[in-house]
Homo-oligomer: A and B are copies of this chain.
Amino acid sequence: MFLLTPALVAVVCILIVWVFKNADRSLETKKEEAQARPWVDEDLRDSTDLLQEEEDVDEWQESEESVEHVPFSHTRYPELEMKMRSQEFYELLNKRRSVRFISSEQVPMEVIANVIKAAGTAPSGAHTEPWTFVVVKDPDVKHKIREIIEEEEEINYKRRMGDRWVTDLKKLRTNWIKEYLDTAPVLILIFKQVHGFAANGKKKVHYYNEISVSISCGILLAALQNAGLVTVTTTPLNCGSRLRLLLGRPSHEKLLMLLPVGYPSKEATVPDLKRKALDQIMVTI
């Protein structure tokens, strides 16, 4: 009878509800975390973003240090030449297509070095230059990369995706077989450094590292097109950590993109797609 006093019942009930709600909540919190940025590699979810909050800058200052300013030297073209140059640049880039059929023919490494040097001229938040370009030529390493990606892709396609995905998949004419990872003479894996290290060993914030590295990849794509090489922009899902470990990159570097690079194979095809017209992407005020 003592056990059923109102007070004791109250305490027991409070405890039970408390425990249940906490369990429930921790489950949901995990779910939220998992969904927070699903489009990026899972091991990107570290504390870096939080660190940045108090330190975000709106201008991409070229340095965090007080550095001397020097006169800016500029090359100005006559107006007619500006128009011609900009027209030709557009026409060159407009021929770029994502090509999935890449020949095994070797490409000059001097050209690869030059396109990566070009990519390295991109602006970056606080001039942190938070990029690492891993150029893989070794056939065994390329094949291991292919195995890792195809393994994860097959799991993605078969288990993680629903029926809707399978339908979309047919339309997309794709599957988890990535032959170009073996055939392309060069794979460029682009890592973003989510933070750096200050002189005292402390973490140094890399402002806007993902945007900076993506800008750098835009320049890389332009440089490849300019040199007459082809590629396809890929963002391997769920295998960032495995590829990072395979390539011996440190944990503050996260895979952002993988570009297989080479000449197109003789029978290369591309989907017959159009780009939006200027008036669909530009508004003038």
Contacts and interface: CB of A to CB of B under 8 A. Distances in A.
Contacts of A160: 54
Contacts of A199: none
How many copies of this chain? 2
Given A10-B13, A76-B263, A273-B62, A85 B281 contact: no
Contacts of A155: none
A32 B53 CA distance: 12
A110 interface: yes
A205 to B, nearest CB: 10
A249 to B, nearest CB: 8
Contacts of A76: 228, 263
A233 interface: yes
Nearest to A145: B285
A235 B215 CA distance: 13
A87 B223 CA distance: 10
Contacts of A137: 284-285
Contacts of A67: 271-273
Contact of A270 (B13, B70, B79, B285): B70
A201 interface: no
A178 to B, nearest CB: 8
Contacts of A256: 211
B59 A174 contact: yes
A123 B219 CA distance: 12
A93 B121 contact: yes
25 contacts: A10-B10, A10-B13, A21-B21, A32-B32, A57-B237, A58-B149, A58-B234, A58-B236, A60-B98, A61-B271, A69-B271, A72-B269, A75-B95, A76-B263, A86-B114, A86-B118, A89-B118, A109-B284, A122-B218, A123-B233, A132-B282, A208-B235, A214-B214, A218-B222, A219-B219
Given A55-B161, A63-B273, A90-B114, 20 more contacts: A9-B10, A9-B13, A10-B13, A13-B14, A14-B17, A38-B49, A38-B50, A54-B165, A63-B271, A72-B230, A72-B270, A73-B95, A76-B263, A86-B114, A120-B276, A134-B282, A211-B256, A215-B215, A215-B218, A219-B219
